[in-house]
Amino acid sequence: MKPRHVKSGTFHILLLTLLAFSCKTDKNVDTENAFYQDKPFLQEYHDAYVVGTNAGENEVRKILADRNSNIWIATAAGIFKKTKDSRNWIKVIAGENDGPAFAVAEDPKGNIWLGTWNGLYKVTNDIPEKVSGPKSPVSAICATTKGIYILGPNGFWIDSGKGFIKQNTTIAKSVRDVISDKNRGLWIATDVGLYHWTEKETTHQYKTDALISAYAKGLALDQTGNLWIGGLGGVTIQNSGKKEKELRPIEGIPSTYVTAVRQAPDSSMWVGTQAGIVRFQPDGTHSLLFSRRWLMDDQVNSIAFDHEGTAWIATPQGVSAIRKRKMSLAQKNDFFFDILMKRHIRAPWIAGQAHLKTPGDTTSWEPEDDDNDGEYTGNYLAMESFRYAATKDPIARENAKKAFGFLKLLQEVTGTDGFFARTIIPADWTHMHDGNRVFTEREKADELVKEPRFKPVEVRWHKSKDGKWLWKGDTSSDEMCGHMFGYYFYYSLVADEAEKKVIAAHVAKIVDHLMKNDLNLVDVDGTHTRWSVWSPDKLNRDPEWLPDRNQNSMEMLAFVKLAHFITGNEKYQKEYLRLIEKEHYLENMKEVTSQNPAWLIYFDVVLQAYLYPILINCEKDPERLKFYRTHLEEWFTHRKDDHNPLINFIYNYCLNKKSELRNSVDFLIDTPLDLVDWPIDHRKREDIQVVRTPVLEDEQVNALQPASLRMTVRWDKNPWTLAGGNPQVEREPVFWLLPYWMGRYLGMISK
């Protein structure tokens, strides 16, 4: 549970956070009719490789994909090879010749050349042989049809077919990369500038009229023959030896320390840095790969491509392969739904996140409780309801019924007149979040000064009467909103007449409890929970609850309106009108769209989104309906820039519109397949700025990042968040499945 209002200023909202390219406008989106015709797209995903058990083996300095798509790497612990269909790395040079390696290349005949601490090796038919001539160490190799070029701190040698001959030319010893100029010459990057070598002459560039800086690290030719020189400061692009363009952080380079450059088979240019890889497309767009979701380490040492187009990235922590597979949104739905059923539905039918005993390793998963199990199972209930409404799949109907059964059990397990639990766990579980504890009087005083609304809940977990479950109390207002959101769609889209009566009785029981307790959710200790307060005495007359007045007024109007809508009992309508006419809850709600920035948290945005379908579709009075619709229109103007597909489709559902489809589809396409909540830290990037908007209390990025570059999503998380993540958590994919099925139901996304 996240606090709704934190006065200390120390709380920071975390974000979600997967395909690592900025989505361009999809040609399948019909903007006139707001319809997306689903068809396969290329989905990128990260395949991570650990080379060995020690740091030296994983410090990969150079990488090569040979003609058979075998992968060769030069590491601090020697040369390793991985065959195409294997995940195992085999040491190539062993014994007394084993040691640090720096370079690897393939010649036109398929021979592999290795540069190591003690010289040059040639590998033919998997047998390495040391080659005489070049003096160790060998730090760079360029193999062409015209010869094999060997460079290192002790010289420059060429073998044109008659053995290696040392060249009598002056080139800096700090060679970092070397490539052919496609015309019998070489481009050579060094710490003191760029060299161009031919048999006739050697030229040297180091001044700023030719390069961003003299420190040159990586070289590549693009599809038009321009030379890209990466190094300190960014990338210099030259044509015929003259500077044509510079790429710095303002153009999308995430770090001024550029370490490698390579052209991909699709003609994009991949630029490796100390803060990830940026890819520049021929059409001028660019996209980024960074964080452990995409790379074993953000420092990129070397880049190679195999014949299938897979990118192989050398880092100080191992090897990353960026692969692609064709997927449609329907196939992506199947992929996520399979993961949901395997790892994210726990008994009795709770949709929640999975705990990873080994960070990042989904094979080590185990179920865990979460404060928001009720809210997010409410999201899951809505998802299955839309799936059933769109497909009439009986499995979706049965799953929705099970999810509702769990939410109903959350009330029944407490043995109260209407209070419901946050979540439940089997009684034999020994590990849970927020175990029972005792507060000392000193601790209570300390907390009370920091937060006058603090409630010292010492007994959070209670055993059910049947002894089967432990249930968690102190239920929050966000749980109530999530429950009601799910109930509305289950009632409207799935339930038959008998089930509607059960839903109506359940909702009525909860709302009756609220009405008996001055519109507060009262725990078994006889007092309201910390955050579930909707009483007019608190919201309208207690200054400490002023930050929640607008939001909570909107919530209570929705709860009571839903009770009236599904039961027909006029007592709920009478209470609804009392709150509007006597307690001014509609006027309070009006101010939601102009919330004081000190009190705005992104979590509230999603809770508000949950409520609009209830308020708009359950209201029959023309004037109030007009108010709600106008309120949603104004609210949505503040939310459009979030490109949140859940919010977009809720807006369309409520107002019968077909808006923002392009941004919604972009998100659905760009969301990674990897659901691990890998840490994302944009602070290391130089191509973005740290700001305090749109939420004043949060450190955020100044430009909304694509789904592939955020923490794994839960919709309560601020999409603009600067940093966060927990690799011991795999998020449930309902965040993707719910808007997808809403889009399908609304007819905005094809099958």
Q: What domains does the chain contain, in order, with CATH numbers?
A: 29-40+329-745 (1.50.10), 54-324 (2.130.10.10)
Q: Please tell me the distance from the alpha carbon of residue 645 to that of residue 79, in angstroms, as a whole number.
A: 47
Q: Please tell me the distance from the alpha carbon of residue 710 to that of residue 693, in angstroms, as a whole number.
A: 17
pLDDT along the chain (751 residues), means of 10: 38 32 54 85 98 96 98 98 97 95 97 98 96 97 96 96 93 97 96 96 96 98 97 97 96 98 98 98 96 98 97 98 98 98 98 98 97 98 98 98 98 98 97 95 95 94 97 98 98 98 98 98 97 98 97 98 98 98 98 94 96 98 98 97 97 97 98 98 96 92 96 91 97 98 98 88
Provide the pLDDT for residue 716. 86
Q: Quick check: 302 and 272 in contact, CB under 8 A?
A: yes
Cβ-based neighbour number of residue 542 at 10 Å: 15
For the question of whether the overall pTM of this predicted structure is more than 0.75, the answer is yes
Q: Please tell me the distance from the alpha carbon of residue 401 to that of residue 395, in angstroms, as a whole number.
A: 10
Bridge partners of 60? 75
Is beta strand 469-472 parallel, antiparallel or unpaired with respect to 424-426? antiparallel
Provide the pLDDT for residue 18. 32
Cα angle value 531/645/389 (rounded, 5°): 90
Provide the pLDDT for residue 32. 57
Provide the pLDDT for residue 27. 59
Q: Which residue, among 260, 330, 345, 331, has the nearest Cα to 301 in the 3D structure?
A: 260
